[in-house]
Amino acid sequence: MNFTWIRAFHTVASQKGFTRAAESLGISQPAVSGHVQSLEQQIGQSLFARKGHSVSLTPVGEALLQRTRHLFAQVEELDDFLLAAGRLERGVLRIGADSPHGIMDLLRDFRARRPHIELRLDLGNMRRVIGSLEAGESDVAFVTAASIGDTFIACPLRRDRLVAIAAAGHPLADSARLPLQALHDVDFIARERTSQTRILFERAAAAGGVVPRQIMELGSREAVREAVAAGIGMAVVFGREQPDDPRVRSIQLDGDGLEGTQFLLTTAERRRLRLVEALFSTAGQRISLG
């Protein structure tokens, strides 16, 4: 189907004449006539009965007009949608994050500027979040890591540091600060191997000769916190991710290699999208690397 021919037919039928159709389309009358004739030749039937300067629809033309009315109503709706999307008055921004902590304020500010944009947030560990971004299943990603390579376009947002957590009754729970070496040979609860929290901690622990006694591996920070609260062992989490919990004490750790940065990431291809540009712009006004 040639859309130009269909549009020419619809305009002639709606305007009830080739001259008015040409004026409406902004092209010459012979061009309009040529488009209609090409369509008639393609289907092998006349669409208009011509008498002098007047035209009327044939039965096939009438049937086609009923269908093109629906078609161009949808085209107009599509034009309206694209215009609104271009002004960022509607649309969907897909977001992957390895934690909800630290991003909700940014999303709140973005929503204040773009209230008609729908936000879809998918939470998972860093590997899953990065995989979704690479696969085009999300537009942007929030992750906390020691560093990000040059595969993605990255905007650093804020720094965070690993802290130890222990049950309120644990022998070390009353310590405000501990050296990393204090975790050597303690009962320890670890995140899954792909967790950035675990990767960062194990790297720092290995550099300091620290070997905790791992007794459990869990797949989420919430599960780790519950295990700690139950007194099963100690663990480490990023400080901003630990909520107030009377059952659990947070303990500052002294040592190197325990700091990570939260990044807003996207791909070079998606960075050109106006919604992604708008989020990066909002993020740039909120950067806090203290």
Provide block-wise average pLDDT over 10 residues at a time, the chain (290 residues). Answer: 88 87 89 92 90 84 89 74 67 89 89 89 90 90 87 91 96 95 96 90 95 94 95 94 91 94 91 88 68
> What is the CATH number that goes with domain 158-260?
3.40.190.290
* Phi and psi angles of residue 64, each rounded to the nearest 5 degrees, phi first: -70, -40
> What is the CATH number that goes with domain 3-86?
1.10.10.10
Specify the pLDDT at position 87: 64
Find out whether 148 and 265 touch, Cβ atoms under 8 Å. yes
Specify the pLDDT at position 290: 47
Specify the pLDDT at position 149: 81
Specify the pLDDT at position 286: 57
Specify the pLDDT at position 80: 59
Could you tell me the residue ranges of all domains in the chain?
3-86, 91-156+263-284, 158-260
Indicate if 158-260 has the same CATH topology as 91-156+263-284: yes
CA distance 74 to 67: 11
Quote the pTM value: 0.65
> What is the CATH number that goes with domain 91-156+263-284?
3.40.190.10
- Within a 10 A sphere around the Cβ of 179, how many other Cβ atoms? 12
Torsional class of 234: left (φ above 0), alpha (ψ -120 to 50), beta (otherwise): beta
